[in-house]
Chains A and B, each alone.
Chain A
Amino acid sequence: MRVSLFVTCLVDQLWPSVGTTAVEVLRRAGCEVEFDQRQTCCGQPAFNTGYRNEARALARRFIEIFEESKADAIVSPSGSCTAMVHHFRELFAEDETWRTRAESVAERTHEFASFLINVLGVDDLGASFSGRVTWHDACHGLRDLNLHSEPRRLIRKVRGVEFVELPNADSCCGFGGTFSVKYPEISVAILDNKIESIEKAGVRAVVSGDASCLMQIGGRLSRQSSPVRAMHLAELLASRE
């Protein structure tokens, strides 16, 4: 299967290892991976802050680039950015042509874990990682894309992993895009509930499907000199140790 990678600007610039490991895992699952270097951002920061004109400009660009691709699927290592692509149609409520184009691109766009499980039907990628890990449900993956069992199935298949659930796995980490810097005190107060339960779980790594949540959680863990590592699912699935 041919896959076009939508790596997301956050991963491209701040967490590139998520991109490289995602490519590795997809190839291991038998996919041929392409990467269109014209791609930048889906426009979510603008959309979520109320700048719809700006978001629309980036959405159009995204659609033009990815509809040219002959790949069978567009795959992204981010639930949040995938959900944004699915939201494109709302930006073109009064423009049927663009709405249709937005919908057909959205139909082909899959989140990484969901693509592995629901499209490829693969759950064992031959990965190994020793130690206890837990999972943080990123909100848009969980509530916009209904991802819940997929990442858990993938994690459980990693050799050497002991998987534990957080009591508040499905509660927000407090990131929320510009919310994290508009109201940093509230954002961090929310985050600290998450951090507390991660620390209590006694894990080696907290795994999630969105680099944004991982920056928030990881940034706080690192500030508190915690040994717990914030890790993307792609990084875990590419791990051989």
Chain B
Amino acid sequence: MNHPTETADSTVYGPPNAFDQNALKALGDEQLHSALQNLVVTFGERREAAISSVEDWEGLRDEARAIKDETLAHLDRYLKEFANNAERAGARIHWARDGHEVSRIIIRLLRERNAKRVVKSKSMATEEIHLNAALEAAAIETVETDLGEWIIQLAHETPSHIVVPAIHKSKKQIADLFVEKIGIEPTDDVAKLTSAARRVLRQRFAEADAGISGVNFGVAETGTILILENEGNIRLTTSLPKIHIAVMGIEKVIPRFADLDVFLKLLPRSGTGQQLTAYQSLITGTKKRPEDEGPEELHIVLMDNGRSRMLAHPVTRQSLACIRCGACLNACPVYQQIGGHAYGSVYPGPIGAVITPQLIGISKATQLPYASSLCGACREVCPVKIDIPALLLHLRSEIVEGPVGGLSEQRGPVKKKFAEHLAFRLYVFAWSRPMLYEWGARGGRLFQRLVVTQGRIGKVSGLIARIAPPFGAWTAWRDAPPIAPRTFREQWRESSRIK
């Protein structure tokens, strides 16, 4: 493809509002392209196979969505129930309004206990609030223990996928990174690489004063938290150190223990195409007797960070049903081309384009809702049937027409695109009047006849691209449709006359 190419090593991506430039960078990255192709094929096929083992997949999706809707409609009640039951079982509950508050609470807890070394397991909630940077600033040594997360921590990068954070990296890049950072001999043997990682990480586990994890589901009925994984590092993070701190978005609560049955069937199948993950850690409070195993303290930090704003509006509320499986990323034709970093946010892909503007403020992410062809593949694979295209359309209308409902307080002023506004006004004005519509069509065809030669814009292309950028953007890669001598309605009139 003849898009402007960037050098493949230009891996520094800008914030969400630099999406257009980020995307160009990503499109020029050959290595990323082949990694993504692998992901799409492997995860797509595995998912297909895994869901075919469920008798009534559609029914299961409906059931999950109904549970989520019920929970979100009474979120205050279920959170209170969860908090009470977790505390009864020995956990301590902390409420945090935003990311800063989560970091402050965690740093205070660690300092009070003189904990200097922390192991962390993979958690999107802590990525969302950039907890690692806050811990680093507080001189607390933090090590990610999920292999993918550890790799990107060593490389000082951010995750490019919700489930497989280092998917953008090749085996060779990882091997080079290990040679540089942990001093192994050069190798391309995956077993050697993973065992090197294991050696380093086991040591960190043994030394850790505290473990920090995320949460997949919090059961209101019992105060239990459930965390899913494949590597065993979460089991270690949550059981080896004396203190376990779990960061949980308030939308992670579900009413009943039996509801897990539904979500455990959906999440691994949608996320990694597994019938079940290798480990499921169900944690209810702290150890009961001295001879029991496990940490002495369990702290659960319940984090809002913009979620109650999403909850307030009936349209955006369904954003909170997301169980972070990543299936929409794998299915999205846009994500498949550009990967996660181009979105400039920890949540990439279709769900990221929905969540990010709501979390950080729509003015800081005005491009993301438009970063979709609205094909609907995301909605089709979503295990909880989130209507992502509808949410994208809703956010687009908020960008153009201003805030509706509960999101207003987060909004900065969105810069209006005057040319686009004017174009749409004109279009409605003319297209509401058949005469103007016909003249417009005639003018358009005259314009096309003057400037288009065999599908391309000819000599005046520079000027045309400047005065009508969409036209230039089309014809740079695609021929303009051939000029029809007469419109349909002209032909219709003519044939009616003949009769």
Binding site for B on A (CB under 8 A): 7, 9, 11-17, 19-20, 23, 35, 37-38, 40-41, 43, 45-54, 57-58, 61, 90, 139-140, 142-144, 171-172, 174-193, 215-216, 218-220, 222-223
Contacts and interface: CB of A to CB of B under 8 A. Distances in A.
Given A12-B487, A49-B424, A189-B27, A37 B373 contact: no
B128 to A, nearest CB: 25
Interface string B319-363: 000000000000001101110000000000000000000000000
Interface stretch (B79-87, B101-109, B178-186, B426-434): B426-434
B486 interface: yes
A47 B334 CA distance: 21
B39 interface: no
Nearest to B338: A186
Interface string B1-36: 101100000000000000010011001000000000
Interface in B395-411: 395-401
Given A58-B428, A185-B23, A13 B484 contact: yes
Given A40-B432, A219-B478, A186 B334 contact: yes
Given A51-B424, A184-B474, A179 B372 contact: yes
Interface residues of B, number: 65
Interface stretch (B188-196, B242-250, B376-384): B376-384
B16 to A, nearest CB: 14
Interface string B405-425: 000000000000000110011
Contacts of B478: 188, 191, 215-216, 219-220, 222-223
Given A50-B369, A172-B375, 14 more contacts: A14-B484, A16-B488, A37-B434, A40-B434, A41-B431, A48-B396, A50-B397, A52-B401, A57-B432, A58-B428, A61-B432, A180-B373, A183-B371, A190-B333
Interface string B463-499: 0000001110110111111001011110111000000
B437 interface: yes
A15 B444 CA distance: 14
B427 A54 contact: yes
Given A13-B441, A50-B401, A52-B397, A179 B374 contact: yes
Contacts of B24: 185
A38 B438 CA distance: 10
A190 B479 contact: no
Interface of B: 1, 3-4, 20, 23-24, 27, 333-334, 336-338, 369-377, 379-380, 390, 393, 395-401, 420-421, 424-425, 427-428, 431-432, 434, 437, 441, 444-445, 455, 469-471, 473-474, 476-481, 484, 486-489, 491-493
Given A139-B376, A179-B370, A184-B476, A49 B420 contact: yes
Given A48-B393, A49-B424, A57-B432, A16 B477 contact: no
Given A19-B488, A50-B393, A143 B473 contact: no
A172 B434 contact: no
A71 to B, nearest CB: 15
17 contacts: A15-B481, A16-B486, A20-B488, A37-B493, A40-B434, A50-B396, A58-B432, A139-B374, A139-B377, A143-B377, A177-B373, A186-B23, A189-B1, A190-B336, A190-B337, A223-B477, A223-B479
A51 B424 CA distance: 8
A37 B489 contact: yes
Contacts of A187: 373
A222 B473 contact: no
A188 B335 CA distance: 14
Contacts of A45: 424, 427
Nearest to A47: B393
A44 B492 CA distance: 24
A52 B397 CA distance: 6
Contacts of B3: 185, 188-189
Contacts of B373: 139, 172, 174-177, 179-180, 187, 190
B487 A16 contact: yes
Contact of A12 (B338, B441, B473, B481): B441
Contact of B489 (A35, A52, A182): A35
A66 B424 CA distance: 23
Nearest to B370: A182
Contacts of B374: 48, 139, 176-177, 179
Given A35-B489, A171-B377, A172-B373, A49 B396 contact: yes
